[in-house]
């Protein structure tokens, strides 16, 4: 703690703040390439050189004669930082001129253009021209760096952020620097490309256009992307992300810095795991009635659903139309009829005591959705059974940085975790179910009852998106035989084909609601795109199914839940903030 002076502005800074962070608190930008808050300091780019001095107790200021790298210097009480003197400005312009010496200036074909720190800093601190008379050094692009990574060698400024990332965060050490001086390059060892599960982060870390994502390469200019803050739904770590879209189409996910959740990074499974949203297997409209040509065995059906030219695989549109609905009505909104039919079917199937009706919740649901469905089903005098669907767990938690043998680090040294639990909200849905039923009924028990013939109707929520998770073949075969099967899902499967009522729901990018991750952090997902086709965001679907009046608003539902469910009372204000809210009080991290 202490007072520092940034361009004569007096501010308080933290004990571990370097000059860049201290200046940032005063609203002054110190340009930097190599420094990143989560990586070690190398002070190699020389972009953050500033004038540093000290204010003596008698009020005199003594400045050091040479420029000091701001990233490497901790701010002490009485530190004086000057970033606007002629000396500093000249240094910044010269550094940029050096960095751009062999830069090809191919902004027009560079994917980074628009979010490039070379562009931004040149505009703010640099010169508009180069004094180089000799031809520029031209170097080969490297597409072999990784499955998802391309290196445009001549755009690199050798900040080595990527190299330090693979050494310090992923621990896999694939990237390194070869040669010296003006022929320095980033490289991998022969036949050992950078394909670790966190590799995509080096693209975000690269402050220039040297490392590009092959997946996103040339797909869209970044200035057209509109970004929405959301949360990745592929594991229970719940990484904060930016969802970048344009014209209702997703283009990429980027990690959003959130120290409460995951830090500054995200894994490649999440980064590239959103492709199902625009896949052909998406269900695009509700449907009434079981598909008549549904093949008997789930195995055969899975083949048909994969669409390998198996003639009778229904197209999205024909599968979308209710079977008993005249075609001319298909252009109308199919939802009122579908929801009315769902309500009738539920009442009929529940019968007198509701014992023969089960609702299977999915850990992919938000807590608002789980709450609205549970409340709707348990509000009457008849109480059906509520159960939690399969919780996909693949392997063990994958913790980083790995050591040189590829072993996971000690728990307290972990910098990033890919959770084994491949769903975002098991904890939240369990809380809702416990509140409404007192106990948690596992999916296995329900499945046993279904197979015994003890159940006649089910409301099944899917939404599983991770490959090979969700309902397995045994479960699908058993559920498919039920006389009443209401399925709320987004991807086509034998289960959705067998549904007597199919409610086409939405992916995490089209919904609004709250996920509670494994650490108990409640974070908001926001709708980045509108639901595709005729499918409907789950929140709105369940809001209307429950016959609630008005428009679905997740904050209002959260306030309602907080008054009703004690374990969720931390969400009482309805607002979660950009970084989320812990549902239980967290021990404060000890201040260093």
Partner 1 sequence: MSETTETTKRTKNVRWVEPPKIGFMEALYLPAIAQGISTTVKHLLAGKSMTRQYPEVEPEIPPNYRGVHRLNRDEKGRVKCVACFLCQTACPANCITIEATGTSKDDPNWNDRDKYPASFVIDELRCIYCGMCEEACPVDAIELTSIYDLTGMTREQMIFDKEKLLSVYDETVGSGNDPVRTKRGVLSPASEKAPESAGAPLPPGRGQLGG
* Interface with partner 1 (CB under 8 A): 104-109, 113, 127-136, 138, 141, 143, 217-219, 221, 223-224
Hey, what are 540's tokens?
A: 């709105």
CB 398 within 8 A of CB 197: yes
Question: Would you call 24 helix, strand, or coil by DSSP?
Answer: helix
CB of 250 vs partner 1, minimal distance in Å:
17
Closest to partner 1 by CB, 126 vs 255, is 126
Hey, what are 148's tokens?
A: 């998802």
CB of 113 vs partner 1, minimal distance in Å:
8
Q: Specify which residues 461 forms β-bridges with.
A: 488
Pairing mode, strands 513-516 and 175-178: unpaired
CB of 523 vs partner 1, minimal distance in Å:
34
Closest to partner 1 by CB, 134 vs 333, is 134
Q: How far is CA 453 from the centre of its chain?
A: 40
Closest to partner 1 by CB, 74 vs 217, is 217
Closest to partner 1 by CB, 145 vs 419, is 145
Q: How far is CA 74 from the centre of its chain?
A: 33
Cα–Cα distance, 95 to 126 (Å, whole number): 8
CB of 456 vs partner 1, minimal distance in Å:
52
CB of 111 vs partner 1, minimal distance in Å:
9
CB of 97 vs partner 1, minimal distance in Å:
11
Cα–Cα distance, 173 to 164 (Å, whole number): 8
CB of 274 vs partner 1, minimal distance in Å:
21
Burial 191-201 (b: 16+ CB within 10 A, else e): eebbebbbbbb
Cα–Cα distance, 429 to 424 (Å, whole number): 10
CB 428 within 8 A of CB 522: yes
Residue 23: burial class (beta carbons within 10 Å; 0-12, 13-18, 19+): buried
CB of 96 vs partner 1, minimal distance in Å:
14
Closest to partner 1 by CB, 133 vs 308, is 133
CB 416 within 8 A of CB 265: yes
Closest-CA residue to 302 (of 493, 24, 501, 92): 493
Cα–Cα distance, 75 to 293 (Å, whole number): 72
CB 358 within 8 A of CB 385: yes
Q: Largest Cα–Cα distance of the chain, in whole Å?
A: 90
CB 562 within 8 A of CB 571: yes
**Peptide bond just before 204 cis, omega within 30 deg:** no
CB 271 within 8 A of CB 251: no
Closest to partner 1 by CB, 105 vs 178, is 105
Handedness of CA 574, 579, 583, 585 (dihedral sign): negative
Closest to partner 1 by CB, 155 vs 256, is 155
Closest to partner 1 by CB, 135 vs 438, is 135
Half-sphere exposure in the Cβ direction for 76 (13 Å, CA): 7
Closest to partner 1 by CB, 219 vs 293, is 219
Helix or strand (DSSP H, E) at 118: helix 117-125
Burial 538-558 (b: 16+ CB within 10 A, else e): bbbbbbbbbeeeeebebbebb
Helix or strand (DSSP H, E) at 297: none
CB of 507 vs partner 1, minimal distance in Å:
25
Closest to partner 1 by CB, 150 vs 388, is 150
Closest to partner 1 by CB, 217 vs 337, is 217
CB of 192 vs partner 1, minimal distance in Å:
21
CB of 103 vs partner 1, minimal distance in Å:
10
The pair phi, psi for residue 586, each rounded to 5°, is: -95, 145
Closest to partner 1 by CB, 60 vs 182, is 182
Closest to partner 1 by CB, 123 vs 218, is 218
CB of 73 vs partner 1, minimal distance in Å:
34
CB of 121 vs partner 1, minimal distance in Å:
17
């Amino acid at each position: 703690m202490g007072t520092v002076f940034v361009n004569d502005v007096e501010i308080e800074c933290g004990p571990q703040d370097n000059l860049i962070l201290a200046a940032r608190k005063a609203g002054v930008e110190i340009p930097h390439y190599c420094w990143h808050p989560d990586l070690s300091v190398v002070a190699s780019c020389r972009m953050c050189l500033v004038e540093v001095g000290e204010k003596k107790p008698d009020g005199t200021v003594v400045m050091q004669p040479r420029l000091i790298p701001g990233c490497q210097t901790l701010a002490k009480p009485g530190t004086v930082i000057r970033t606007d003197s002629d000396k500093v400005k000249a240094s910044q312009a010269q550094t940029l001129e050096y960095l751009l010496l062999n830069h090809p200036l191919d902004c027009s074909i560079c994917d980074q253009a628009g979010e490039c720190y070379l562009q931004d800093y040149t505009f703010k601190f640099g010169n508009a021209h180069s004094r180089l008379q000799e031809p520029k050094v031209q170097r080969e692009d490297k597409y072999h760096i990784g499955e998802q990574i391309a290196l445009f060698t001549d755009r690199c400024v050798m900040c080595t952020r990527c190299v330090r990332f693979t050494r310090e965060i992923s621990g896999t050490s694939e990237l390194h620097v070869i040669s010296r001086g003006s022929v320095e390059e980033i490289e991998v060892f022969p036949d050992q490309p950078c394909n670790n599960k966190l590799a995509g982060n080096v693209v975000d870390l690269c402050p220039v256009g040297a490392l590009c994502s092959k997946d996103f390469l040339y797909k869209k200019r970044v200035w057209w992307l509109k970004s929405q803050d959301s949360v990745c739904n592929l594991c229970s770590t719940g990484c904060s992300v930016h969802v970048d879209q344009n014209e209702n189409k997703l283009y990429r996910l980027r990690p959003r810095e959130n120290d409460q959740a995951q830090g500054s990074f995200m894994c490649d499974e999440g980064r590239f795991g959103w492709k199902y949203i625009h896949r052909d297997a998406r269900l695009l409209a509700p449907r009434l009635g079981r598909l008549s040509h549904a093949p008997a065995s789930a195995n055969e059906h899975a083949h048909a659903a994969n669409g390998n030219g198996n003639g009778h695989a229904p197209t999205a549109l024909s599968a979308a139309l209710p079977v008993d609905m005249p075609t001319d009505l298909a252009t109308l909104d199919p939802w009122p009829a579908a929801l009315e039919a769902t309500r009738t079917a539920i009442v009929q199937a529940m019968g007198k005591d509701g014992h023969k009706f089960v609702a299977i919740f999915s850990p992919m649901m938000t807590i608002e959705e789980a709450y609205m469905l549970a409340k709707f089903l348990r509000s009457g005098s008849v109480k059906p059974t509520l159960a939690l669907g399969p919780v996909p767990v693949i392997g063990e938690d994958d913790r980083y940085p790995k050591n040189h043998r590829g072993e996971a680090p000690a728990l307290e040294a972990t910098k990033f975790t890919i959770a084994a639990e491949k769903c975002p909200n098991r904890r939240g849905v369990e809380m809702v179910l416990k509140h409404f039923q007192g106990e948690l009924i596992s999916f296995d028990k329900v499945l046993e009852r279904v197979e015994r013939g003890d159940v006649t109707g089910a409301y099944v929520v899917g939404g599983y998106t991770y490959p090979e998770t969700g309902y397995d073949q045994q479960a699908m075969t058993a559920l498919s035989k039920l006389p009443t099967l209401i399925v709320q899902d987004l991807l086509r499967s034998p289960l959705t084909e067998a549904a007597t009522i199919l409610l086409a729901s939405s992916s995490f990018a089209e919904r609004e609601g709250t996920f509670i991750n494994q650490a108990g952090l409640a974070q908001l997902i926001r709708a980045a795109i509108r639901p595709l086709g005729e499918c409907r965001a789950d929140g709105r679907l369940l809001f209307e199914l429950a016959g609630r009046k008005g428009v679905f608003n997740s904050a209002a539902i959260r306030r309602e839940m907080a008054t009703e469910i004690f374990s969720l009372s931390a969400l009482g204000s309805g607002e979660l903030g950009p970084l989320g809210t812990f549902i239980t009080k967290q021990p404060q991290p000890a201040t260093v």
